[in-house]
Amino acid sequence: MTSRYIANTAAEQRQMLAVIGASGIEELLVRIPAKARLSRPLSLAPALAETDLIRHMKALAERNADADQNACFMGAGAYDHYIPSPINHLISRGEFFTAYTPYQPEASQGTLRTIYEYQTMIAELTGMDVANASIYDGASSLAEAALMAHAVTERNEVVLSRGVNPLYRRVAVTYCEGPGVRLRDAAVPDGVTDLAAAKKLVSSKTAALVVQSPNFYGCLEDIAAAAELAHAAGALLVVVADPVNLGVLEAPGRLGADLVVGEGQGLGVPMSFGGPNLGVFGAKKDLVRRMPGRLVGATVDRDGRRGFVLTLQTREQHIRRGKATSNICTNVALCALMATIYLAILGRRGLVRVGELSTAKAHYAAERLAQVPGVSLRFGAPFFKEFALKLPKSPERVVAKLAKQGILAGVPLKTFDRALGDCLLVAVTEKRTKVEIDAFADALGKAVA
C-alpha cells in the first residue's frame, strides 16, 4: 500500500507540473539564487535507538535557559507567574485536550460550559458587560479591537499610544492596512502617554484611542482621563490590560473603557517559548454584535434544563464572509480553560495576593537595583510589576553575562526603541524571592562595574 501511495503521489506531482508547464521540480527553483540553495546532502546523523534519541533530545533541551532552572526577570508581554499543578492534570483529560470547536452543543456541553465560565470571569475582571470566547493572543486582540472600532464608528483613524507593546502595534499595522485604517502614534515622554499631545491627534476622524495600563514600560496610565479625551471626540477608548493585574488594579471598564483587550498568558498559561497564548477581549453590551469571534450563552432546553450554546458566531466559518466581523479570530480554548481553572483555584483573594506580591517585590527590586552605581530608573511614573532601568553599559552584554550566572536579567529595549538603547526592561512576579532579587542586584553591580 505504501509503494502504491508513493507511485500515486509521484504521478500527481508530474500531472501538476505539466499543468503549469514545468518539466520538473528543479525548474520551479531556478529563481532561488544558487548561493541560497544547499549544494550538498543534509548532514543528518545516523538513526538512533529510542533510548539514545530520548537521551539526545533531553541533552538539547537542557541547553535552554528556561525559567525553571533560572531566576526569570524577563517580561515585555510574557510573564513567569506561578501555575497551580491541578491545571496540567485537568487540561490533559481527553475531552479537553483533543476537543475542537463545539459546533454541536448537544455533544459539547462540557466545553461550552468552561468557555461560558471563562467569559464570565474575564468580563468581571475587566469591568466589561461581555467577553468573547478568546482570541489567539494579545496582539491579535488589539488588532481586532482597532478593526471593530473602525466598523462601529465608521472612522478611519486610530490613535495608538507608544506605550502599547510594540509587537502589538506591529500586528495592528498589518491588520489595518487592508481596510485603510490609519494609525497615529501618541508620545510617551516620561513613560506614560502625553494626553495633552494626544488631544491634538484625536479628532472627528478618530475611531479609537488606545492605551495600555500598565503599559509596555510597566507604568500606570490615567485611564479615566484617556476615556474623557476619547469620548469627547466621539471615539472609543480601547485599553490593553493584563488580567492578572486586575486583582489589584481597578477594572478598565469602570474607568470608562469601551473595549478591553490584552494577553491572558499569566492566567495559568505557560510561557512555552512564546506561545500558544490567550487573547482577552471584552466589550460593552451595546457593541456586542460587532465583537469578533464567538460568544457562548446559557439557555434552557425544551425540558427546562440549563444548557449552553454558541449564542453569537460572527466568524466567516459560521456565516457569510462578507457579513463576518472577523476572518482571523480562532480562539485557543485550551488556554482559556487553563485561565478558567487558574482563576477558580486562586479565587478573589488569591488573585489579589498575586498582584500585591508582584508589585511589592517589583518595587523592592527597583530600589535595590537602582542602588547599583551608574544604574537608575529610566522613568519617574508610578509602575506596577515592571520597570525600565538605565544602565551604564550595554544591556545586551549585561544580559548575556548574567545569563551565565542563572539570572535572566530582563529585555533590552534597543530592539523596540533605539532611543532606549541603554535601557533594560525588568519584570518581577510573585515567584521571585528576596534571595533572587538580591543576587540579581549583586551580579548587576559586578557586571557594570
Instruction: Report residue 258's pLDDT band, with 50, 70 and 90 as the boundaries.
Output: very high
Do 289 and 415 lie in one domain? The reply is no
| Secondary structure of the chain as H, E, C letters | CHHHHHHHHHHHHHHHHHHCCCCCHHHHCCCCCHHHCCCCCCCCCCCCCHHHHHHHHHHHHCCCCCCCCCEECCCCCCCCCCCCCHHHHHHCCHHHHCCCCCCCHHHCHHHHHHHHHHHHHHHHHHCCCEECCCECCHHHHHHHHHHHHHHHHCCCEEEEECCCCHHHHHHHHHHHHCCCCEEEEECCCCCCCCHHHHHHHCCCCEEEEEEECCCCCCECCCHHHHHHHHHHCCCEEEEECCHHHHHCCCCHHHHCCCEEEEECCCCCCCCCCCCCCCEEEEECHHHHHHCCCEEEEEEECCCCCEEEEEEEECECCCCCHHHCCECCCCCCHHHHHHHHHHHHHHHHHHHHHHHHHHHHHHHHHHHHHHCCCCCEECCCCCECCEEEEECCCCHHHHHHHHHCCCEECCEECCCCCHHHCCEEEEECCCCCCHHHHHHHHHHHHHHHC
Separation of alpha carbons 72 and 427, rounded Å: 8
Looking at the structure of the chain, the number of domains it has is 2
pLDDT value of position 317? 57
**Res. 98 pLDDT band, cuts 50 70 90:** confident
The candidate with the shortest Cα–Cα distance to 336, out of 251, 268, 272, 282, is: 268
331 and 356 housed in the same domain: no
Output phi, psi for 299, to 5 deg.
Answer: -150, -165
Per-residue confidence at 329, pLDDT binned at 50, 70, 90?
Answer: low
Asked if 338 and 355 sit in the same domain, the reply is no
**389 beta partners:** 377, 424
For the cut 80, the answer to whether the pLDDT of residue 446 exceeds it is yes
Residue 291 has pLDDT above 70, yes or no: yes
Per-residue pLDDT reduced to its tens digit, 375-410:
999 999 999 999 999 999 999 999 999 999 999 999
Are 208 and 354 part of one and the same domain? no
Binning pLDDT at 50, 70 and 90, where does residue 95 land? confident
- Distance separating alpha carbons of residues 18 and 27, to the nearest angstrom: 12
Same domain flag for 336 and 366: no
pLDDT score of 316 more than 70: no
For 143-186, the pLDDT digits (tens) are 999 999 999 999 999 999 999 999 999 999 999 999 999 999 99
| Residues 123 and 259 grouped into a single domain | yes
Alpha-carbon span 412 to 444, nearest angstrom: 14
Q: Are 113 and 299 in contact (CB under 8 A)?
A: no
Provide the domain limits for residue 198: 86-342
**What pLDDT score was predicted for residue 44?**
86
User: In the listed set 342, 359, 393, which residue is the last one of a domain according to the structure?
Assistant: 342
pLDDT of residue 27: 84
Name residue 241's amino acid.
A
Q: Is residue 329 part of a domain?
A: yes
Query: What pLDDT shows up at residue 165?
Result: 98
pLDDT of residue 417: 94
* Domain end position, chosen among 299, 323, 342: 342
Do 73 and 438 meet the contact criterion of CB atoms below 8 Å apart? no
- 357 domain-assigned: yes
Same domain, 279 and 404: no
pTM of the model: 0.88
The pLDDT value recorded for residue 425 is 98
Q: Are 133 and 318 in contact (CB under 8 A)?
A: no
The model's confidence at residue 18, banded by pLDDT at 50, 70 and 90, is confident
Distances (CA, A) of 246 to 40, 129, 171, 333, 397: 55, 16, 24, 21, 35
Predicted confidence at residue 4, as pLDDT, reads: 53
For residue 3, pLDDT beyond 80 = no
Q: Which residue is associated with the grid cell 476537543?
A: 99
Going by pLDDT thresholds of 50, 70 and 90, the confidence category of residue 12 is: confident
Q: Which of 281, 278, 242, 243 is nearest to 259 (CA)?
A: 281
CB of 101 within 8 A of CB of 438?
no
Do 117 and 222 reside in the same domain of the chain?
yes
Length of the chain equals 449
Shared domain for 246 and 378, answered yes or no, is no
Strand partners, 386: 427
pLDDT of 1 above 50: no
- End-to-end distance of the chain based on CA atoms, in angstroms? 69
CA separation for the pair 415, 212 (Å, rounded): 19
- Between residues 32 and 312, which one has the greater pLDDT? 32
Q: What is the pLDDT of residue 17?
A: 86
- Whether 38 is covered by a domain: the verdict is no
pLDDT tens, 180-226? 999 999 999 999 999 999 999 999 999 999 999 999 999 999 999 99
Predicted confidence band of residue 318 (pLDDT cuts 50, 70, 90): low
Note the pLDDT of residue 34.
85
Round the average pLDDT of the chain to a whole number and report it: 92
In a domain, 28, yes or no: no
- Say yes or no: 152 and 175 in one domain: yes
The per-residue pLDDT for 75 is 97
pLDDT score of 106: 76
CATH number, domain containing residue 253:
3.40.640.10
Domain boundary among 298, 318, 342: 342
Asked, for residue 11, whether it belongs to a domain, the answer is no
